[in-house]
Structure 1
Amino acid sequence: MLNFTYKNQTEILFGKGQLSEVPARLPKEAKVLFLYGGGSIKQNGVYEQVVTALEGIEVVEFAGVEPNPEFETLMKAVRVARETEVNFILAVGGGSVIDGAKFIAAAVNFDGDTWDILTKGASFENPLPVGAVLTLPATGSESNGNSVVTRKETAQKLPFSSESLQPQFAVLDPEFTYSLPARQISNGVVDAFVHVIEQYLTYPVNAPLQDRFAEGILQTLIEVGPLALDHPTDYDVRANVMWSATMALNGLIGKGVPQDWSTHMIGHELTALHGLDHAVTLAIVLPALMYVQRDQKKVKILQLGERVFGIDNGSEDERIDLTIKAVQDFFESMQVATRLSDHSIAESSIDNIVANLERNGMTALGEHGDIDLDKARQILTLAA
């Protein structure tokens, strides 16, 4: 097992009615930037519940954070936060809103070009504290310091991370997910599944507890994911989806083990250039990447097949093929198509995708740093 440090500062407020606990966790004389997305929280009643919970507290609203939050929109929120001198950000929504809140928190007191935070890893000081009310389980952003921001002007989607941006608390009420469209539930389950895979499907380092944690999350998602589509108001189903998505990327299962994240990095370019949903890009890339990297990942692919999918008959090559197919079939069972052509992306577009990987410095991806541009091209061609 590799050396690690682990601290998770996020207080999880899980279950029905936990929104009422938010005021007690805000700073004295709080002035809150209430950040949300396209307005769905006004249709499902969450907005009214948040307003009620914040009654008596000074609040500045900012709406319109997009899926794959856009730099241009977030900079408008930064200007509002600076002008109104808010001292706390409450992000109400899915991972995109929470990611956006983290960037705003970092940028408010940043002196310089805020895009440098993403492109150059520029350091920042005194970020605003963030809290989250989760309405779409998927990214795990409610309990980690990660953020991804898209800039339309340059067709770039870039990540950054800091423990200082991790939400101080997160409200996880499964009832807030009842009204989600099927597409968003599908995306959320696939996203969480691939988060686990990126921390699990590498090579063994004698970390059996982390492996078992990861396999448990994968098995739970495989079990409850399709049920969430069929039974949208089943509290227990939604609770298990929500908690699985949080546990998939709160840092625990990735401690002491090598990680990959190449599926995400390649997928980001599909979003930046073609506007695909984040989870859709992961479902396209992962099966092809598993095939291309089958030798490097052989031991863990075989373990995944046996422990998660019950694949234990046949030669190693046969079991690897069956495991890759099982992953692909799971994505399809979640109603997420897994080929570029399914999304009207022609094979001729691969040149532009590979060029964007090069422009963004994504030329040595994977746990071994061996996914270069040629391998990325192989993966994308296989996924066509």
Structure 2
Amino acid sequence: MENFVFQNRTKIIFGRDSDSEVGAEVKAYADKVLLHYGSSRIKDSGLFSRVSESLKAAGVSFVELGGVEPNPRLSLVKEGITMCRENGIEFILAVGGGSVIDSAKAIAIGVPYEGDVWDFYDGKAAPQKALDVATILTIPAAGSEASPASVITNTDGDLKRGAASELLRPVFSILNPELTFSLPPYQTACGAADILVHVFERYFTNTTNVELTDRLCEAVMKTVIENVTVCLSDPLNYNARAEVMWAGTVAHNDLVGTGRAQDWGSHQIEHEISGIYDVAHGAGLAAVVPAWMKTVYKTNIARFVQFASRVWNVEINFQDQEKTALEGIKRTEQFFSSIGLPVTLGEMDIDDKRLEEMADKCTDGGKGCAGNFVKIDKNGVLEILKTAL
């Protein structure tokens, strides 16, 4: 196990009707906030009305900014920065899924910064100050409700990039599983894929003596696999929705990655896909991850055998461990397909025309590598994309 520092300031308020507490929670930080959200769905569902009434009852006024899209856009972030500056806002409440939360975080670091907020995502600057952010989560997936990360898409160049800082971790997040009852099956499935891959990125490591976090990772994975199928067949099942929602937070609040080297190659590759084609992140991951696994598994077959055995209950073939490892990869791919996700790029109408461009962007023009479990150069990324095709 490697040395580590673990900290997470995010207060989690979990359970039925927990969104009704938002006004009192926000009041401890600010009297005026930016209420940031995505589509009109939160108004149609009545959530916007409940949130606004709770804020008003607590004496908190707000300015609203909706319109966040999946793969949140830099252009709306800049609009939010201007809005906060013009209205003297020092606190942001994000109501939505990972895209809304990531957009809110970008606004939060952009307001006190004199330069272009894209500098943080382009690696030219590191955040030194930020507005406080809080969230009401409506889509369990990205884990942004308790993470220090934000991912934004710049349509100028079709670039999807991330920034990370402890300043970006929300001060509190409200998780009410009831808010996920109306999620379409495809969004539920994409969210499950995102959660699982957040764990994969930590689980597939070359660090030894990490039994505790191995077991934590496996528990999260098995919980999601079991409960997302229930969510899809019985959307109003509170217990299954609650399990998936909490798993999404634990998968990305840094706990299961403590003491171990992490990978993140699949995320790097997928960001190039959704940055260009605007596909759902979870769907892109469902296509990339099996291809990544097929490419790298021989580097550490023992870890893939463990994954197959402990997560997918594959009986270990001691005479042919490779067969066991490949069966685990096969079951991963079959699971994604069984919950309605694409497992090839072709299923998302992506052809081979821009694979070279994606591999080039992913590796900074061939100067860098993707991932850490195996450091994948430009040719390796291209191979994975072709396998995923």
Structure 1 Cα separation of the partners of residues 366 and 169 of structure 2: 26
Q: Is 1:365 equivalent to 2:358 in the alignment?
A: no
Query: What is residue 214 of structure 2 aligned with on the other side?
Result: 211
Q: Is 1:263 equivalent to 2:249 in the alignment?
A: no
Q: Secondary structure at the match of 2:299?
A: coil
Q: CA deviation at 1:29?
A: 5.0
Task: Please list, as runs of the form range in 1=range in 2, the aligned pairs for 1:51-90 lying within 5 A after superposition.
Answer: 51-55=52-56, 56-90=59-93
Q: Deviations over 1:129-177 (max 9, x none)?
A: 0000000000110011110000111110000101111001000000011
Q: Secondary structure at the match of 2:354?
A: helix
Q: Is 1:44 equivalent to 2:49 in the alignment?
A: no
Structure 1 Cα separation of the partners of residues 121 and 109 of structure 2: 11
Q: Deviations over 1:37-57 (max 9, x none)?
A: 011111112111111111131
- The number of equivalent residue pairs is 384
- Percent identity of paired positions between Structure 1 and Structure 2: 37
Task: Please list, as runs of the form range in 1=range in 2, the aligned pairs for 1:160-171 lying within 5 A after superposition.
Answer: 160-171=163-174
Query: What is residue 19 of structure 1 aligned with on the other side?
Result: 19
Superposition misfits of 4+ residues, deviation over 6 angstroms: none
TM-score (norm 2): 0.96
Equivalent pair of 2:299/2:374 in contact (CA under 8 Å): no
Q: CA deviation at 1:59?
A: 0.7
Structure 1 Cα separation of the partners of residues 222 and 123 of structure 2: 38
Structure 2 Cα separation of the partners of residues 125 and 290 of structure 1: 37
CA 1:29–1:365: 2 relative to 1, 3 Å: closer
Give unpaired runs (5+ residues) of structure 1.
Answer: none
CA 1:303–1:369: 2 relative to 1, 3 Å: closer
Q: CA deviation at 1:204?
A: 4.1
Q: Secondary structure at the match of 2:156?
A: helix
Task: Please list, as runs of the form range in 1=range in 2, the aligned pairs for 1:224-263 lying within 5 A after superposition.
Answer: 224-263=227-266
Equivalent pair of 1:204/1:299 in contact (CA under 8 Å): no
Q: Which moved more, 1:196-205 or 1:366-375?
A: 366-375
CA 1:49–1:355: 2 relative to 1, 3 Å: same
2:296 to 266, 286, 293: 293
Query: What is residue 277 of structure 1 aligned with on the other side?
Result: 280
Letter in 1 for 2:239: D
CA 1:43–1:202: 2 relative to 1, 3 Å: same
Q: Is 1:375 equivalent to 2:374 in the alignment?
A: no
CA 1:16–1:360: 2 relative to 1, 3 Å: farther
Q: Secondary structure at the match of 2:8?
A: coil
Letter in 2 for 1:54: L
Give unpaired runs (5+ residues) of structure 2.
Answer: none
Q: Which moved more, 1:362-371 or 1:201-210?
A: 362-371
Query: What is residue 136 of structure 2 aligned with on the other side?
Result: 133
Equivalent pair of 1:145/1:164 in contact (CA under 8 Å): yes
Equivalent pair of 1:196/1:218 in contact (CA under 8 Å): yes
Q: CA deviation at 1:369?
A: 5.5
Query: What is residue 4 of structure 2 aligned with on the other side?
Result: 4
Letter in 1 for 2:106: F
Structure 1 Cα separation of the partners of residues 170 and 217 of structure 2: 23
Equivalent pair of 2:362/2:370 in contact (CA under 8 Å): no
